[in-house]
């Protein structure tokens, strides 16, 4: 147990803290961007879907950051602790923080006299935010580039702003239209993408470092 | 040296995965958003039509009546849309605050709130509103007559009071209500508008403005990633020391990289503009109008190039300065904030990064706002140049310090 | 043109830490070795000479040009950093071509020089090989090609043989010697064998200070008559190591063959042997430590 605490502390200290600081700013300044007072359920959902959703991108995309350097990745993979455990640990830590932030925003709205069904919005928001985060997580796992992870997650968000008509049940911003039924699709998508991400980075061979793919952006060394 | 290096950098961009993601996403997004809307319905207005569209009024009485009508609807809905820091912020008033705004309405109109509410209901119930156009017409026609002797100065004071209750960034700020009260167009106005669209705008320019509106949304965000990726690449690949030791100046190195990325990002933008302009040219030809075949170059050059320039330049600067991906977070927030912060989808450029023109036409309004747009674009061109100069300075300082500059986010980003 | 590097009283501080302290050196044409343990300040000195780091104090002139004129200095120096790398998606030809442009060469010059340099470093038949697929040795050869492509008067190579296999190392050292015919090649390393095989003039840097500057023969003379070979029982090894400076151990069964540096013959059965640069280097380092202890 002590080993995992140390691993998590080291990750936060050396790689993750700037992202947590950004998250702190994101929460601290939220009052200037969105209102928490007297919202109805759809307005409350809008706050969660269009603002708090960025928490997922901020928290889950950079989890593979230390291993962007292939030498570090190879070195860590050569050690006794399986990499999937290390990644799962980071994921779990991000998940706990994410849930905390979601509850925090919901409590801001409750204190502001907003009226919504807590359980429904909490469940929907968790699944949607995790799904958005899992896109960044998976993309950075496959490409070994955090920038691409952010890029694809933000693009997915932006595409949904334009309606997301081709995205079916995986389209975002459903709750603010009063549709609460797609949470299981988001959850399923998140589970699949997070699992694949951990598998790729945890068990990935040199193929996943993409060194043989001729596009520069795909390879750390290029 | 600059030219050769520029070409080599262009080849580097062509080998980058991020660039291809940019191209694919850009093309798909534009294709998904823009259609032939407006083009199909383009026809000369004829006398006796029921509705000719709507237009912004500068008549003070109309501004007062329209603004109060808007205020009445907001109070009735119990929700005010504000954009204090660019993002949408819905404000819901407390009972006390709501009462205050109701009193302001009563003071401006000389009628009780209950009476105003009843009149509003009667107005909207009169119409079917089965189509979007009809609904817009009904809303444009809804006015709240002011009480006799009520001056514009008194109105301004009343709106200031509303602003102090609702908060910053609402519709009730002077700059907003003076430019956003729409009234139905008359036949003469509609004809004048149509003539301007076919004459000065040659249809193609108006259509390209609509293209720029959609493209501008994506170009506020997508180039960030291309820029950050290029600026971080030397560090990631560990070639900084070798490049630093070469005699090429920072201006040549950064300048060629910046220009190469700018050109490569612009190519798909202009290509899409060219392709989308084609049906528009055909349409103009069928109407016997001389289209402007170079509109696909001229309009995006003015609307989109400065935007790409600043987004790319700022991403270069922040990344070079912090050696991190901080630019992704900061600039995405700026891009999305600017988009959400647009209080109107047509005009009101100010110093917004994303300048909106979500309409095909409104040529007369554009002509009156063109100066504002030029200021906006000129400002961002200047800012882009400043960012690139700063990037060169940071680069040269890093060169003299063996590769390290600043301490922002070194460890994590 | 006077081909030399003159360093007078050079100091470089990183905050409070002194990386270089009062370094004075005169480096003539030919191979010059810079020896020292890890963290001695070799890379800092090289970065100052390539204008990648600003000096804190002192004077440096490269071929008569003050180090402040960074553009001129960069034109006349070629640098191969310790961890040379290039964009992985470029092949050998493209990488060299790109760096040639940064070195300010015209298109015509590039067309002639790039294949010429690739041939010189034996990479011409690998010119289509991507950098990401190159072995360590190939990368270093590409690195030296980019350092000499603009025909600089001074070439600065930082730990160029670290991580190479013995054959690559020898090949690389020979290449450096070939290049050094009409220019200065400043070779920094902590591998004594590289210096021994290639350099006539050397300087030893320790904790930011020059502790030796001269010819290899002068360095060897420091330990002349002080290096002994002795056979002892393996069980006594620890005791002997504590008492003397041991530079070589070969244990066979219960006996151990030792190479010891001592001012006087430590054992009656010990034999005086010919010292090598490694012995001299060890002596120098040890002597400094002893002085500090005192």
Which of A188-192, B5-9, B136-140, C290-294 has the least mean pLDDT? Answer: C290-294
Task: Assign 3-class secondary structure to A7-75.
Answer: HHHHHHHHHHHHHHHHHHHHHHCHHHHCCCCCCCHHHHHHHHHHHHCHHHHHHHHHHHHHHHCHHHHHH
Per-residue pLDDT of chain A (222 residues; tens, 9 = 90+): 777 788 888 889 888 999 999 999 999 988 877 888 778 888 899 899 989 999 999 999 999 988 887 777 777 777 777 888 889 999 999 999 999 999 999 999 999 888 899 999 999 999 999 999 999 999 999 998 999 999 999 999 988 887 667 788 999 999 988 899 999 999 999 999 999 999 998 876 544 444 333 343 333 333
Cα separation, A167 vs B277, in Å, equals 28
Sign of dihedral through CA atoms A178, A179, A183, A189? negative
C99 interfacial to chain B (CB closer than 8 Å): yes
Query: Please, which chains are in contact with A (at least 3 CB pairs closer than 8 A)?
Result: B, C
**Chain C residues near residue B237 by CB distance under 8 angstroms:** 85-88
Q: Are C11 and C57 in contact (CB under 8 A)?
A: yes
Average pLDDT over chain C reads: 88
DSSP assignment string, B59-97: -HHHHHHHHHHHHHHHHHHT-EEE-TTSS-EEE---HHH
C132 interfacial to chain A (CB closer than 8 Å): yes
Per-residue CA distances from B223 to A101, B328, C169 (Å): 30, 10, 45
Map residue B44 onto helix, strand or coil.
coil
pLDDT, residue B410, reads 42
pLDDT, residue C288, reads 64
Residue C156: closest C-alpha in chain B: B245
Q: How many CB pairs lie under 8 A apart between chains A and C?
A: 20
Q: Residue B231: what are its φ and ψ, rounded to 5°?
A: -70, -25
Helical axes B250-286 vs B222-237, angle rounded to 10°: 150
Give residue-wise pLDDT tens across range B242-271: 899 898 999 999 999 999 999 999 999 999
Reference B156, options B108, B111, B204, B205; nearest CA is B108
- Cross-chain residue pair C54–B401, CB shorter than 8 Å: yes
Reference A215, options A111, A131, A145; nearest CA is A145
Map residue C248 onto helix, strand or coil.
strand
Greatest extent of chain B over all pairs of C-alpha atoms, in Å = 80
What lies within 8 Å, CB to CB, of A67 at 6+ separation is: A73, A76, A144, A201
Report the residue of B9, B16, B17 to disrupt the A interface, i.e. the one with the largest count of A CBs within 10 Å.
B17
**Chain A residues near residue B324 by CB distance under 8 angstroms:** 18
Strands (E), B142-238: 182-184
Task: Read off the pLDDT of each residue in C131-149 and give the average, rounded to a whole number.
Answer: 89
pLDDT, residue B393, reads 95
Q: Are B315 and B223 in contact (CB under 8 A)?
A: yes
pLDDT at residue B173 tops 70: yes
Residue C89: closest C-alpha in chain A: A222
Bridge partners of residue C203, in order along the sequence: C34, C213
**Chain C residues near residue B8 by CB distance under 8 angstroms:** 97-98, 101
Residue B9: closest C-alpha in chain C: C98
What lies within 8 Å, CB to CB, of B237 at 6+ separation is: A220, A221, A222, C85, C86, C87, C88
Cα separation, C85 vs A220, in Å, equals 12
Per-residue CA distances from A10 to A7, A66, A140, B149, B411 (Å): 5, 11, 21, 72, 12
B30 interfacial to chain A (CB closer than 8 Å): no
- Cross-chain residue pair A14–B412, CB shorter than 8 Å: yes
pLDDT, residue A4, reads 77
Reference A89, options A57, A109, A110, A66; nearest CA is A66
In the block, tokens 């952006």 appear at A217
CA distance, residue C69 to nearest chain B CA (Å)? 11
Which ipTM value was assigned to this complex?
0.83
Overall pTM surpassing 0.90 (yes/no) = no
CA distance, residue C166 to nearest chain A CA (Å)? 23
Q: Are A134 and B218 in contact (CB under 8 A)?
A: no
Query: Please, which chains are in contact with C (at least 3 CB pairs closer than 8 A)?
Result: A, B
- Cross-chain residue pair C131–A215, CB shorter than 8 Å: no
pLDDT, residue A163, reads 67
pLDDT at residue C258 tops 50: yes
Query: Please, which chains are in contact with B (at least 3 CB pairs closer than 8 A)?
Result: A, C
Average pLDDT over chain B reads: 87
A214 interfacial to chain C (CB closer than 8 Å): yes
pLDDT at residue B5 tops 90: yes
Give residue-wise pLDDT tens across range B112-165: 999 999 988 888 887 766 665 666 667 777 888 899 889 999 999 999 999 999
C85 interfacial to chain A (CB closer than 8 Å): yes
Residue B256: closest C-alpha in chain C: C102
Contacting B residues, span 220-249, partner chain A, CB-CB under 8 Å: 221-222, 225, 228-229, 232-233, 236-237
pLDDT, residue A157, reads 92
pLDDT at residue B72 tops 80: yes
Reference A151, options B223, C128, B130, B371; nearest CA is B223
What lies within 8 Å, CB to CB, of C88 at 6+ separation is: A211, A216, A219, A221, A222, B237, C130, C131, C132
CA distance, residue B7 to nearest chain C CA (Å)? 10
Domains in chain C: ranges and CATH: 5-215 (3.40.50.300), 221-293 (no CATH)
B18 closest CB neighbour out of A17, A22, A217? A217
- Cross-chain residue pair B1–C89, CB shorter than 8 Å: no
């Amino acid at each position: 147990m002590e080993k995992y605490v140390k691993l998590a502390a080291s990750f936060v200290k050396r790689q993750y803290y700037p992202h947590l600081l950004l998250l702190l700013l994101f929460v601290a300044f939220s009052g200037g961007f969105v209102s928490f007072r007297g919202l109805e359920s759809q307005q409350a959902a809008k706050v969660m879907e269009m603002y708090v959703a960025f928490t997922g991108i901020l928290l889950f995309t950079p989890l593979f950051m230390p291993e962007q350097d292939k030498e570090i990745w190879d070195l860590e993979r050569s050690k006794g602790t399986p990499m999937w455990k290390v990644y799962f640990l980071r994921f779990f830590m991000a998940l706990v923080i994410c849930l905390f932030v979601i509850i925090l925003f919901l409590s801001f709205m409750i204190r502001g006299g907003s009226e919504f069904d807590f359980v429904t919005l909490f469940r929907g928001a968790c699944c949607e935010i995790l799904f958005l985060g899992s896109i960044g997580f998976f993309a950075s796992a496959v490409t070994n580039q955090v920038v691409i992870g952010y890029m694809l997650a933000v693009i997915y968000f932006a595409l949904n702003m334009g309606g997301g008509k081709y995205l079916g049940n995986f389209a975002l911003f459903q709750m603010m239209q009063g549709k609460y039924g797609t949470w299981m699709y988001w959850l399923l998508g998140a589970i699949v993408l997070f699992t694949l991400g951990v598998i790729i980075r945890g068990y990935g061979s040199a193929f996943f470092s993409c060194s043989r793919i001729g596009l520069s952006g795909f390879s750390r060394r290029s | 040296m600059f030219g050769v290096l520029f070409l080599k950098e262009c080849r580097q961009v062509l080998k980058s995965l991020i660039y291809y993601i940019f191209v694919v996403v850009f093309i798909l997004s534009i294709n998904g958003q823009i259609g032939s809307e407006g083009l199909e319905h383009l026809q000369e207005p004829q006398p006796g039509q029921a509705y000719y569209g709507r237009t912004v009024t500068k008549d003070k009485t109309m501004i007062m009546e329209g603004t109060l009508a808007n205020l009445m609807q907001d109070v009735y809905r119990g929700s005010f849309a504000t954009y204090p820091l660019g993002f949408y912020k819905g404000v819901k008033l407390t009972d006390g605050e709501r009462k205050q705004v109701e009193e302001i309405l009563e003071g401006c109109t000389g009628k009780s709130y209950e009476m105003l509410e009843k009149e509003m209901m009667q107005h909207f119930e009169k119409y079917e509103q089965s189509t979007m156009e009809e609904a817009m017409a009904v809303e444009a026609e809804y006015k709240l007559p002011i009480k006799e002797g009520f001056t514009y100065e008194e109105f301004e004071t009343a709106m200031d009071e509303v602003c102090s209750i609702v908060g910053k960034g609402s519709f009730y700020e002077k700059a907003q209500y003076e430019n956003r009260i729409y009234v139905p167009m008359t036949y003469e106005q509609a004809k004048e508008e149509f003539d301007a669209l076919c004459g000065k705008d040659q249809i193609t320019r108006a259509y390209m403005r609509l293209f720029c509106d959609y493209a501008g949304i994506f170009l506020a965000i997508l180039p960030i990633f291309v820029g950050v990726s290029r600026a971080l690449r030397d560090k990631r690949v560990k070639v900084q020391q070798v490049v630093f030791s070469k005699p090429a100046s920072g201006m040549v190195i950064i300048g060629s990289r910046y220009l190469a990325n700018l050109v490569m990002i612009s190519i798909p933008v202009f290509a899409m503009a060219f392709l989308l302009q084609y049906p528009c040219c055909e349409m103009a030809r069928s109407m016997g109008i001389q289209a402007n075949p170079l509109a696909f170059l001229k309009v995006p050059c003015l609307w989109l190039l400065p935007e790409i320039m600043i987004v790319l330049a700022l991403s270069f600067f922040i990344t070079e300065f912090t050696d991190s991906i901080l630019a992704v977070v900061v600039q995405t927030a700026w891009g999305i904030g600017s988009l959400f912060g647009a209080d109107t989808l047509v005009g009101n450029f100010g110093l917004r990064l994303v300048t909106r023109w979500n309409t095909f036409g409104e040529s007369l309004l554009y002509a009156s706002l063109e100066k504002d747009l030029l200021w906006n674009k000129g400002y961002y061109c200047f800012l882009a140049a400043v960012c690139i100069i700063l990037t060169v300075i940071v680069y040269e300082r890093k060169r003299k310090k063996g590769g390290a500059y600043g301490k922002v986010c070194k460890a994590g980003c | 043109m006077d081909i030399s590097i003159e360093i007078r009283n050079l100091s470089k501080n990183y905050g409070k830490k002194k990386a270089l302290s009062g370094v004075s050196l005169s480096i003539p044409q030919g191979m010059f070795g810079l020896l020292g343990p890890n963290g001695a300040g070799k890379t800092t000195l090289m970065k100052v000479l390539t204008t990648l780091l600003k000096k804190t104090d002192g004077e440096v002139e490269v071929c008569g040009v003050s180090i402040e004129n960074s553009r001129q200095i960069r034109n006349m120096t070629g640098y191969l950093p310790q961890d040379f790398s290039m964009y992985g998606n470029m092949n050998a030809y493209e990488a060299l071509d790109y760096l040639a442009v940064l070195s300010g060469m015209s298109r015509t010059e590039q067309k002639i020089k790039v294949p010429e340099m690739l041939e010189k470093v034996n990479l011409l038949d690998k010119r289509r090989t991507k950098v990401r697929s190159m072995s360590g040795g190939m990368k270093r050869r590409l690195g030296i090609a980019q350092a000499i492509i603009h025909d600089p008067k001074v070439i600065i190579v930082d730990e160029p043989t670290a991580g190479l296999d013995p054959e690559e190392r020898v090949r690389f050292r020979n290449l450096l010697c070939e290049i050094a015919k009409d220019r200065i090649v400043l070779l920094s390393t902590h591998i004594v064998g590289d210096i021994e095989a290639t350099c006539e003039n050397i300087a030893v840097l320790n904790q930011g200070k020059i502790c030796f500057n001269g010819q290899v023969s002068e360095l060897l003379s420091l330990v002349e008559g002080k290096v002994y070979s002795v056979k002892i029982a393996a069980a006594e090894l620890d005791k002997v190591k504590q008492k003397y400076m041991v530079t070589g151990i070969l244990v066979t069964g219960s006996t151990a063959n030792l190479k010891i540096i001592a001012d006087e013959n430590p054992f009656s059965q010990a034999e005086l042997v010919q010292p090598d640069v490694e012995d001299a280097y060890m002596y120098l380092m040890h002597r400094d430590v002893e002085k500090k202890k005192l």
